[in-house]
Copies of this chain bind each other. A is one copy, B any other.
């Protein structure tokens, strides 16, 4: 922590500030310039609330100099992490494509879609069995029946399974069926839940919250890592801004930023990121071009009758076209599709 003093701070004020810092257990280094005196406060207090110092008389500004996350940072682990999803590595040279419907609706529906996305080159099947919905009056998912259908369809077509888990009571159940557990954007700061996920052994994909800064997103991953589960994948899915022409604003720039700050793999979800079918493919291409380690895309063979998010699901033929373009883009930057 660096404490910048006001130019008119009195010696008495400076002494008091230094004493307070010592009381909090910090080592203090003072450097005095022509215009400003700066105190470097050195110590191990990740949870220290720097506003405590900001309010002392004579203080002009306080600057936290250590990033609050550790286990997730590149400083902690220089090499990129590769997370193993039932034999499919995420975070290495190959870009991994996950695809499937928003919700599992029936055996036939999920099998039809699984067959199509597998044929086009997807490696992981997505599909929701428990759905968080803005309206209490909307379809809430098939529950365990949905999980069983999802697993069966994935196995039939050589795919792995990713699906969302919404709270602690569902963890055991979802772990039995899925290869990766997905944490939704609305749960990104549900810390007791993240701690629970730190105790399991299966990989977790953590979506970025709608209003979460990149730093808060990495802090949330820290809850899982600190619990002992090192298999964390991050997923950018759009943030909330003033722009209303699109459902969310997909923060493509977050991909290279996270790759620099953290060793964790980053996947992009263009379906939620842009929120309308006819723009999903350009955003999928952009994410791979920017360096994403994977994509998660909503695909439905009959989106007009989908029980949720049909409007942002692409058709299997469009998915196939997307895969061809994305394959060439991966090659353009020295990577390949898994």
Contact = CB atoms under 8 A, between A and B. Distances in A.
Contact of A219 (B61, B135, B214): B135
Interface in A36-69: 36, 38, 40, 42, 44, 46-47, 49, 51-52, 54-55, 60-61, 63, 65-66, 68
A47 B283 contact: no
A186 to B, nearest CB: 4
Contacts of A325: 332-333
A331 interface: yes
A307 to B, nearest CB: 10
Q: How many copies of this protein are present in the complex?
A: 4
Contacts of A27: 33-34
Interface string A301-320: 00010001111100000000
Contacts of A32: 29
Nearest to A270: B253
A31 B35 contact: no
Interface in A233-250: 239-246, 249-250
A133 B134 CA distance: 25
Contact of A135 (B6, B40, B47): B47
Contacts of A38: 2, 29, 40, 65
Given A7-B75, A51-B276, A328-B328, 12 more contacts: A47-B138, A55-B278, A60-B65, A63-B63, A239-B241, A249-B249, A249-B253, A256-B279, A256-B283, A260-B279, A285-B289, A332-B332
9 contacts: A40-B40, A47-B138, A52-B310, A167-B167, A241-B242, A249-B251, A257-B279, A285-B289, A329-B332
